[in-house]
Chains A and B, each alone.
Chain A
Amino acid sequence: ETGVTQSPTHLIKTRGQQVTLRCSSQSGHNTVSWYQQALGQGPQFIFQYYREEENGRGNFPPRFSGLQFPNYSSELNVNALELDDSALYLCASTPTGDTQYFGPGTRLTVL
Chain B
Amino acid sequence: GDSVTQMEGPVTLSEEAFLTINCTYTATGYPSLFWYVQYPGEGLQLLLKATKADDKGSNKGFEATYRKETTSFHLEKGSVQVSDSAVYFCALSDRAGNQFYFGTGTSLTVIP
Contacts and interface: CB of A to CB of B under 8 A. Distances in A.
Interface of A: 2, 4, 31, 33, 35, 40-45, 48, 50, 55-56, 58, 90, 92, 94, 97-105
B44 A90 contact: yes
Interface string B39-65: 000111110010100000000000000
Given A42-B89, A43-B89, A102 B98 contact: no
Interface of B: 4, 32, 36, 42-46, 49, 51, 89, 91, 93, 96-105
Contacts of B96: 56
Nearest to B93: A98
A42 B102 contact: yes
Given A41-B105, A55-B98, A90-B43, 14 more contacts: A35-B100, A40-B105, A41-B104, A42-B89, A43-B44, A43-B102, A44-B102, A48-B99, A92-B44, A94-B97, A98-B97, A99-B49, A102-B36, A105-B43
Contact of B105 (A42, A48, A58): A42
